[in-house]
Amino acid sequence: MWKFGDWTKRTKWIVTGIIALIIALGFIGAYNSTPTITINNARDSKISTDNTEYEFTGDVSSMKSATLTINDEFVPLSSGSKFSHKVSLEEGDNDFNLVAANDNGETSETVAIHRTTQAEFAARAEAERLAAEKKAGELRTEEEKKAQEKAEEEARVAKEKAEADAKAAAKAKAQAEAQAQHKAHIDGLATTYCSNHQGNRNIYIPQASSRDAWENPNKDLLTKYPKHSNCVTIMTFFVDTMPSDYIDNIISFRVGTGMNKAEVLAAWGWPNNNSNHSSDWGSSGTWTWDTGTCYYGVCPHQQYVTLVNGKVDSTGNY
């Protein structure tokens, strides 16, 4: 300190003397002071515990030999200053007076310790019970809420399923009714067709209600006496592929301009002659039918149709 200072030697000696005096006075003051008590585990003036005993630990600071008493009971100091002492506690408030003494006098510290009473234990237990009941009630409420939400969700799903099932059932019913009406319609047409064409001309009976069966007819599949099931096959194809007025023409032996080969075959039967016959029936030609029997008051020798590109261009009688 003095090495780096700019003070004179006289000043340095004066400062050193002052510092030494302060240290000496501090030592003398400490030596002549009463003890200081430090309690490690009693930082608050009032302590609460459930135990029947309490242990004081701490330190007595003194430059001189000191003693310690707690409620007038002598407490030994280990290593000259440290102490550890157990005291018994009564229910309720307990006051303890710690007194440290040396030749210079005494220093005291008062510590209040409250031991939990039976009534307080009961009150605490009741509070814990009420808190547990409240928590249980909250849990029940939450569980009930979840159960209600689950029930509502299940009800919603069930309702949606029921509505979907009802719609599906209604759709199936409508389809079944439509199919039944369609079948009844075809059965009625087939009955009339069979009745009108029974025993008159050779009727082509396809094995399936398909366009291919009519576009490539087989001469071996002819009959003058079609069964109802044969007529159903014929009518099914035409009902599904053409307007109702064309079907009326077929049922009533009428052939008109614009009808195709299949419609002509169904209306007038297989022709007796085909001037342009080929495997695909040609793209043009004349079909003729012998008319040995009168129909609807008309008794021509022959009926004919001319076909251009597979469509009836004209009809007539010879």
Q: What is the pLDDT of residue 7?
A: 67
Share of the chain above pLDDT 90, in %: 43
Nearest to 301 by CA among 291, 311, 293: 291
Angle at 188 between CA 182 and CA 192, to 5 degrees: 145
Distance between alpha carbon 311 and the CA centroid of its chain, in Å? 62
For the structural domain made of 33-114, what CATH number should be given? 2.60.40.10
| Rounded-to-integer distance, Cα 105 and Cα 91, Å | 34
Q: What is the pLDDT of residue 117?
A: 95
Mean pLDDT of the chain: 84
| Rounded-to-integer distance, Cα 256 and Cα 312, Å | 7
Angle at 105 between CA 99 and CA 108, to 5 degrees: 25
Nearest to 93 by CA among 115, 108, 109: 115
SS3 content of the chain, % helix, strand, coil (to 5): 45, 25, 30
pLDDT exceeds cutoff 90 at 200:
no
Q: What is the pLDDT of residue 84?
A: 93
Nearest to 194 by CA among 226, 149, 160: 226
- pTM tops 0.85: no
Quote the DSSP letter at residue 177.
Answer: H
The tokens describing 224, both together, are: 């003058």
State residue 237 phi and psi, 5-degree precision: -65, -45
How does pLDDT run across 42-99, given as a tens digit for each residue?
A: 666 679 999 999 999 999 998 888 999 999 999 999 987 899 999 999 999 999 999 9
Q: Which residue has the higher pLDDT, 113 or 12?
A: 113
pLDDT exceeds cutoff 60 at 261:
yes
Nearest to 308 by CA among 290, 281, 289, 288: 281
Would you mind telling me the total number of residues written for the chain in this entry? Answer: 318
pLDDT exceeds cutoff 90 at 276:
no
Q: Which residue has the higher pLDDT, 240 or 107?
A: 107
What is the average per-residue pLDDT within 177-186? 93
> Is the Cβ–Cβ distance between 214 and 186 less than 8 Å?
no
Distance between alpha carbon 12 and the CA centroid of its chain, in Å? 89
What is the average per-residue pLDDT within 143-165? 92
